[in-house]
Structure 1
Amino acid sequence: MATEPPLRPGNLLPPRVLVTAWSLLVLIAVLAWVLTVGQARDMGIEPGTMGMGIPLFLLLWLAMMAGMMLPSVAPVAITWARAIGRRSTGARRAARTAGFIGGYLLVWTVFGLLAYGALSATGELVQDHPGAGRWIGFTAFLLAGLQQLGPLKNVCLRHCRSPISQLMRYAQFRPWARDFRVGAHHGLYCVGCCWGLMVVLIPLGVMNIAAMAGVATVIFIEKLWRLGPVFSTAVGVGLLVLAGLTPFHDWLLPGLQPPDAPMHMH
């Protein structure tokens, strides 16, 4: 069994190393946003997968997740880097932190496969029955609102906001691929916390930059603000209100409107 406990005072990293780690994660997130924004401007907002095959979609999805999620997961990744401690060389710390991030993003990539299936199905349905978009949007906002207010959200959000006890347990994992498994385990909690917010990208548009930025901001505030749980509840109530409005306001559904379809308010 591994015996290196996390967060021993003698093992804490010097501030210079922590600042470097923060900077690298922020840089990765910024580059991911640059790539995502560039692609979104070329593609526009349309229903479904916009003709993308699974490989291209997953590549863009991975860039989206890196841009949207890394700012909120950075504190956990840095805490794990601190747990690695002074005994590791700089290159080894970097490799282990990269393993954590890799496991985390792999979970979101797998979730991207489910997102691709949902977008493909809803896109085909809207093309065949344009009026169905209102009810798809209603369902998406309703699911997201209920998830925000449900018990699973609270459990996963508590873990994401205060993962120290889990990180201490991770220190007892066998060394083989431990960092990767830690990142994947934390990623599962993150998916459990945020999947409802990702669902709203179906009606708002998966390549809608404003929607992506809004979702990323909500996730960041939920996880890092002192009143994050209260904010999360308020967002859930807001999503339920949107669910009630979507059958009557097409402008709330840019991601479910065919390119040549005008948006109406009823």
Structure 2
Amino acid sequence: MSRLPGADVPGDAVLEYLPLLPLPDFLARFFALCLAPAPLRASLGAQGGALTAMWLLMAIATMLPSAAPMIRTYCEIADTARIKREPAVHPLTLVAGYLSVWLVASAMFAALTFAIHAFASSGQMLDPLVGIAGAGALSIAGLYQFSRLKEVCLDKCRNPFSILFANWSARPIRILRLGMKQGLWCLGCCWALMLVMFAVGVMNVFWMALIGLFSLVEKQTAGNLPTRLAGAILLVWAAALLVVST
């Protein structure tokens, strides 16, 4: 992928190994906007829209792959219904409901980004948090991995068939709500992991990929070992960051 000259982006060491692709100038500038940790210079509404779009893109990149088994399960049930000549709502309706939850969550993460930026000393909105603030974000993410709510939400994400089958409907509005319900379970499972992005830099492509991979593995693995191990790593990381910052 081509980059703007002199752009210093999170995960730049990783991006350097990717093949260079000729892109139109407006696309190159769009990717630079998404990746560069520079402050946004625009009206408040434009900044909010851009940040919400960035968080939504990040959510799609990290969370939608882990929702693939749920979408595939719905498609299998819909195919069975069509074979029986029964009506079935298009899977994109389910996906739309799922993504609508993450759109609202993205707006909330954008608002949190604004709040943090208001108290940040670096003056750069997408810079990683350091010191106590970064340790706090990692601590919340780590502690949540051991919570009962995390366990309940993760169990729902791991077993979509029973929920989809029990709530099956030929009405689009009900399938849209079903997608929203699944999105809420996914949000309840993964919202704290998104806080890690504040500690490593918002839109850091390396950590986006890592969190997306972990979410996929976590939802496909039985037992709590990956979840608890990730929580322990985050807590140790938070403690280490706190020690070196004081």
The reply to whether TM is greater than 0.5 is yes
Tell me the CA shift for residue 189 of structure 1: 0.3
Matched, 1:215 2:207: no
TM-score, length basis structure 1: 0.70
Superposed CA offset, 1:112-166 (max 9, x none): 1110111111122112799x84111111011001111110000000110112221
Amino acid at match of 2:232: V
Deviation, structure 1 residue 57: 2.0
State the partner residue of 2:72.
78
How many residues align? The count is: 209
Pick one of 115, 135, 138 that aligns with 1:138: 135
- How far apart, in 1, do the equivalents of 2:130 and 2:99 lie? 30
CA displacement at 1:73 relative to structure 2: 0.5
Gapped runs of 5+ residues in structure 1? 1-34, 251-265
Unaligned runs of 5+ in 2: 1-26
Whether contact under 8 Å (2:55, 2:110) holds in the other structure is no
148, 162, 167: which one aligns with 1:165: 162
Q: Is the 8 A contact 2:96 2:179 kept in 1?
A: yes
Q: 1:42 to 1:110 in 2, by over 3 A?
A: closer
Q: Within 1, Cα distance between the matches of 2:40 and 2:117?
A: 8
Tell me, what secondary structure is at the counterpart of 2:203?
A: coil
Q: Is the 8 A contact 1:142 1:239 kept in 2?
A: yes
Distance in 2 separating the partners of 1:220 and 1:178: 26
Whichever residue aligns with residue 148 of structure 1, its letter is Q
Shift of 1:45: 3.0
How far apart in 2 are the matches of 1:39 and 1:137?
Answer: 26
Q: State whether residues 93 and 179 of structure 2, in contact with CA within 8 Å, keep that contact through their aligned partners in structure 1.
A: yes
Corresponding residue for residue 101 of structure 1 = 95
**AA in 1 matched with 2:147:** G
Match of 1:262 in 2: none
CA-CA distance at 1:210 after TM superposition = 1.1
- Contact 1:160 1:223 (C-alpha < 8 Å) held by counterparts: yes
Name the counterpart of 2:115: 121
- Structure 1 residue 87: deviation in Å? 4.4
Q: 1:56 to 1:237 in 2, by over 3 A?
A: same
- Measured after TM superposition, the shift of residue 50 of structure 1 is 4.3
TM value normalised by structure 2? 0.75
- Between the two proteins, what is the percent identity of the paired residues? 29
Go from structure 1 to structure 2 and tell me whether the alpha carbon gap of 1:235 and 1:53 turns closer, same or farther (over 3 Å shift).
Answer: same
Selected match of 2:48 from 43, 54, 79: 54
Q: Distance in 2 between matches of 1:80 and 1:109?
A: 21
Query: What is the CA RMSD across the aligned residues, in angstroms?
Result: 2.9
